[in-house]
Structure 1
């Protein structure tokens, strides 16, 4: 734990997972509920989060069930804003004040994450997530399979990209799921977050597992 805390204090970049970490909900599950496909999709999410199927398979399966139109996505964003996790706004502010680069690295969708990033003063170029595709009629046309975050191991690929692009020496990944845990390495440290949901496999393997962002703020302000 002390080793991870030391890396956090020295970090020049921190990458946050979004669903069940930065926000209290799982974005894809909420979109599914909005499209009346909630139950089928949340079962697949639970399996994907414990690492029992590849992320790309889980994403594909869920999106084919939801089959969201462009209008549905726009309506969902405007009528069902996500709930920021308590403490995240303050933590990001503390990191920004320390001149630490903050990224949102998510298996969710850029269109759903941009309003969250805006609330946290994180520029859109620091979002690494998946892109939904639509036909000109507005019907669902799949997702961009070239995005690293659409595949298992994708968050690690993103962290390598960030290291090279921004010349970062110490990157910390913070999240609740198996895809976050497996991003370390190349991340220099991983902090498991259990304030919204606890994944037992992640809790067991994380060197530092927290239930409240105040624990991180306290370490940074020592």
Structure 2
């Protein structure tokens, strides 16, 4: 059984750190922001609440919400331009410090790649370190669906991404940081999980993890202990 001390040691000596995006790296939930921008915020929020009950698979819940939003490519681009995601305080400094130490940083999200790549660019994270869902559009820009072949489009997908990263890069010490149950479930194969409670408190996650933080400054301070 891993202890809190061992979890902190794994973080200080990690070869890679994987971050969830919505309500972790950024303050918002991307799909809810997109729904509000497209004028269907209330309907999608209600579906999100039902999905949290666990009665549906992630893919089904995502498909149902997107079928209501039906965003065009133009709407997505306008959302990013007019209402860009807000980075959580301290995340830029933390990612910079991890990069300085030679630690690989990945973003693993159940959200949309077109938005997550924008976040990654702000943080200096290369696009090939982004794992997220891809929206699909017709040539005229109308919504046609999403790429169901992506690992992040299915339940347990974040864990599968972590396993892929460990195999691809030969990683032995990988830490997952996030606010939700899907992030906690990625450990294992992640070697440690840190619950981030700085934007939203998920009591079920907080109560079942060894280490939770409310600020990325706490993780920066932990790195300085070496």
TM-score, normalised relative to structure 1: 0.97
Deviates more, 1:23-32 or 1:134-143: 134-143
5+ long unaligned stretches in structure 2: none
Residue 171 of structure 1 is matched in structure 2 by 174
CA distance in 2, matches of 1:199, 1:130: 23
SS in 2 for 1:68: coil
Establish whether residue 152 from structure 1 lines up as the match of residue 155 from structure 2. Answer: yes
Residue 67 of structure 1 is matched in structure 2 by 70
Residue 119 of structure 1 is matched in structure 2 by 122
Which of 110, 113, 118 matches 1:110? 113
CA distance in 2, matches of 1:25, 1:34: 13
Residue by residue over 1:88-112, the C-alpha shift from the partner in whole angstroms, topping out at 9 and shown as x without a partner, is 0011011111100000000001101
Residue 142 of structure 2 is matched in structure 1 by 139
CA distance in 2, matches of 1:50, 1:26: 17
CA distance in 1, matches of 2:52, 2:125: 26
CA distance in 2, matches of 1:68, 1:177: 25
Question: Over aligned residue pairs, what C-alpha RMSD do you find?
Answer: 1.1
5+ long unaligned stretches in structure 1: none
CA distance in 2, matches of 1:201, 1:53: 18
Residue 15 of structure 1 is matched in structure 2 by 18
CA distance in 1, matches of 2:25, 2:73: 24
TM-score, normalised relative to structure 2: 0.95
SS in 2 for 1:104: strand
Residue by residue over 1:183-220, the C-alpha shift from the partner in whole angstroms, topping out at 9 and shown as x without a partner, is 00000000001100011111111110111111111111
Which of 11, 23, 29 matches 1:26? 29
Which of 37, 42, 46 matches 1:39? 42
Q: Measured at CA, do residues 52 and 10 of structure 1 come closer, stay the same or move farther in structure 2, by a change above 3 Å? A: farther
Q: Give the number of equivalent residue pairs.
A: 222
SS in 1 for 2:131: strand
Structure 1: which 4+ aligned runs deviate by more than 6 Å?
Answer: none
Establish whether residue 217 from structure 1 lines up as the match of residue 220 from structure 2. Answer: yes
